[in-house]
Amino acid sequence: MVCHEFKGGIGTASRRLPAEAGGYTIGVLVQANHGTRRTLTIAGVPVGKEITDLLPEIPSAARQSPLGKTSSIIVVVGTDAPLLPHQLDRLARRAALGIGLVGGRGEDPSGDIIMAFSAAHVLDISIPPTQQVETVTLFHTDPLLEATVQATEESIVNALVAARTMTGINGNTVHALPHRRLREVLRKYNRLAG
């Protein structure tokens, strides 16, 4: 997995809404294998423009399939909020905004997959063929939508921060995002105290 030309992989994050917004939880899992270095943004900081070295190393024999030219991100959004399918579709669409905040642009060869589900409804198949379900009403889903954007953004950053440099098939090497340098860049843009 290569994310913004650093080592990528699996990342997760979650948000719990305050009681007045329903107290629901949004959890996001990403498999981050997408993006270009020049667009990488963390906390609004152009990290990819600041850390321009440590690009993937691909031996000439392996260049027939350029690393990073075909990539994708998979996002799974889960919630305990009682949502209907059209509302879950809206959550999935908001995950794309979180991808964009980190610099994902949905490049042409990218096979982005985003899905959302709710664990709130448990239907009893032993009762009559119709059932009533509760759902969060229109105009009360905004906190869920915002939490989805935030958790998606954080999941991608977490995948980058958790990854380690790796050398794989054909000697391809993908470098981890250097933590010390990331902190320096964030400090430069006043996004990190101390």
Q: Whats the size of the chain, residue-wise?
A: 194
- Specify the residue for token string 């470098």: 175
SS3 content of the chain, % helix, strand, coil (to 5): 35, 20, 45
Query: Which of 16, 39, 25, 133 shows the shortest CA–CA distance to 80?
Result: 25
Strand segments (E) across the chain? 2-3, 6-7, 9-16, 25-33, 72-79, 113-118, 166-167, 173-174
Active site residues: 72, 110, 112
Residue type, 16: R
Helices 142-162 and 85-102, interaxial angle, to 10°?
40
Tokens representing residue 186 in the block? 């964030």
- Specify the residue for token string 């993937």: 56
Give burial (CB, 10 Å; 0-12/13-18/19+) of 77.
buried
